[in-house]
A and B are shown apart, each in its own frame.
Chain A
Amino acid sequence: SQQGEEDPQALSIQEGENATMNCSYKTSINNLQWYRQNSGRGLVHLILIRSNEREKHSGRLRVTLDTSKKSSSLLITASRAADTASYFCATDAGDDKIIFGKGTRLHILP
Chain B
Amino acid sequence: GAVVSQHPSWVICKSGTSVKIECRSLDFQATTMFWYRQFPKQSLMLMATSNEGSKATYEQGVEKDKFLINHASLTLSTLTVTSAHPEDSSFYICSAQVINYGYTFGSGTRLTVV
Chain A residues near B (Cβ < 8 Å): 1-2, 31, 33, 35, 40-43, 45, 48, 88, 90, 96-103, 105
Contact = CB atoms under 8 A, between A and B. Distances in A.
Interface of A is mostly: strand
Given A42-B107, A100-B46, 20 more contacts: A1-B45, A2-B43, A40-B91, A40-B110, A41-B107, A42-B93, A42-B106, A43-B44, A43-B93, A45-B102, A45-B103, A48-B102, A96-B49, A98-B34, A98-B95, A98-B103, A100-B44, A100-B45, A102-B42, A102-B43
Contact of B45 (A2, A35, A40, A42): A2
Q: How large is the interface on B (under 10, 10 to 19, 20 to 34, 35 or more residues)?
A: 20 to 34
A44 to B, nearest CB: 8
Q: Which 8 A-B pairs have the closest CB atoms?
A: A42-B107, A43-B105, A100-B44, A42-B108, A102-B43, A100-B43, A103-B43, A42-B105
Interface of B: 6, 32, 34, 36, 41-46, 49, 59-60, 91, 93, 95, 97, 102-108, 110
A61 B102 CA distance: 18
Contact of B32 (A2, A96, A99, A101): A96
Contacts of A88: 43-44
A88 B46 CA distance: 14
A33 B43 contact: no
Most A C-beta atoms less than 10 A away, residue of B44, B97, B106 = B44
Most B C-beta atoms less than 10 A away, residue of A1, A31, A43, A90 = A43
25 contacts: A1-B45, A1-B60, A2-B45, A31-B102, A33-B102, A35-B105, A40-B91, A40-B110, A41-B108, A42-B6, A42-B93, A42-B107, A43-B105, A88-B43, A96-B32, A97-B34, A97-B46, A98-B46, A98-B103, A99-B46, A100-B36, A100-B43, A101-B43, A103-B42, A103-B43
